[in-house]
Amino acid sequence: MTDLDSFIAGLPKAELHLHIEGSLEPEQMFAFAQRNGVAIPYASVDEVRAAYAFGNLQDFLDIYYAGADVLRTQADFHDLATAYFDRAAADGVVHAEIMFDPQTHTDRGVPFGVVIEGLLSAMAAAEERHGLTSALILSFLRHLSEDAAFETLAAAEPWLDRIAAVGLDSSELGHPPEKFARVFAAAAAKGLKLVAHAGEEGPPDYVWQALDTLKVDRIDHGNRALEDETLVARLARDAMTLTVCPLSNLKLCVVGDLAEHPLDRMLALGLRATINSDDPAYFGGYIGDNYRAVTAGRGLDRAALVTLARNSFTGSFLPDTAVAANLDRLDRYVAAHA
Ligand code: ADE
Ligand code: ZN
């Protein structure tokens, strides 16, 4: 382990872009399939991992939605999230804002309450065991209709005080943010924060729509914003947080090599970029792996790593007092490792 690697391991950080369904490890997929009596189209864990070679986002999504079929009970969602929180805590994550895709489950007959109650009990346990705080982001699937998103928002009504934000994920191309303008406005009216995947595969115009039509508080990914200078200036002016996911970008061919990853260019342009893992079980690593891989690929220094960790707290949906406490903790860590 290099000095920078051990610095990264202990660096207090927040994770802001994590799909809990994307933390389903192959071993867990087999365990859940067995306990729920669900057939899966793989004979071994090695066979599952061999299937994780993706040419683009849709290749991944097809396998990701199929994998989620093993999740059936409240205990499954609890155990899935607990395994994620344990790994995150080991990576120095002190706060995590995790996305879940209710439609992936309700469309298979798994009730909304089963999903969210399993996640909420794991969140409470993670805070007790690790002191790790967390928040939920309800993500709408953009390949489905806006009416379906409205139905999901209605199903969430009894738990709205336990949900921090709504998000927008799944197949980006052909499903622009403006398709969800009304449901995002409805979510904002209920006091929810707003995030959307934009500029992962989609053009800069989708990032503009996320900002101006959806009025998001954060952009998930945002890589392709760099193609539009005016957009970059707008994102910098607004101190808009970008939740960047280096290993995801590599696995989904958004970048050809981490040596070409634009993360440090984003920082140099004044963008509030953060490092996140997206779907760690599918993309070859958790948040610590993402920090280490992009540090090696781009030659990031300590100052850049501290800026990235700082951005993860300032870009979070924590109350100001908790942001300040986490920034203090970060400053103390940095001072102790000067
Ligand atoms: N769902 C899970 N991961 C995703 C990603 N990286 N982009 C869009 N939808 C997703
Ligand atoms: Zn994502």
318's tokens: 């924590």
pLDDT reported for residue 338: 84
CA of 48 to the centre of ligand 2 (A): 21
Could you tell me how many residues make up the chain? Answer: 338
Written as one string, the DSSP assignment of 317-334 is: -S-HHHHHHHHHHHHHHH
pLDDT reported for residue 220: 99
Catalytic residue, chosen from 200, 201, 229, 260, is 200
CATH number of 3-22+77-336: 3.20.20.140
Sketch the domain layout of the chain as residue ranges.
Answer: 3-22+77-336
Written as one string, the DSSP assignment of 34-85 is: HHHT---S-SSHHHHHHH---SSHHHHHHHHHHHGGG--SHHHHHHHHHHHH
Q: Is the CB of 278 under 6 A from ligand 1?
A: yes
Whether pTM > 0.95 for this model: the answer is yes
pLDDT reported for residue 1: 80
CA of 12 to the centre of ligand 2 (A): 22
How many CA atoms, within 13 angstroms, populate the side-chain half-sphere of residue 221?
30
CA dist 86 and 76 (Å) reads 15
Whether 200 is catalytic is yes
pLDDT reported for residue 34: 97
Start-to-end CA span in the chain (Å) = 18
185's tokens: 């406005």
CA of 146 to the centre of ligand 2 (A): 19
Mean pLDDT by 10 residues, the chain (338 residues): 93 99 97 97 94 96 96 98 98 99 98 99 99 99 98 98 99 98 99 98 98 99 98 98 98 98 98 98 98 98 98 98 98 96
Q: Is the CB of 249 under 6 A from ligand 1?
A: no
pLDDT reported for residue 267: 98
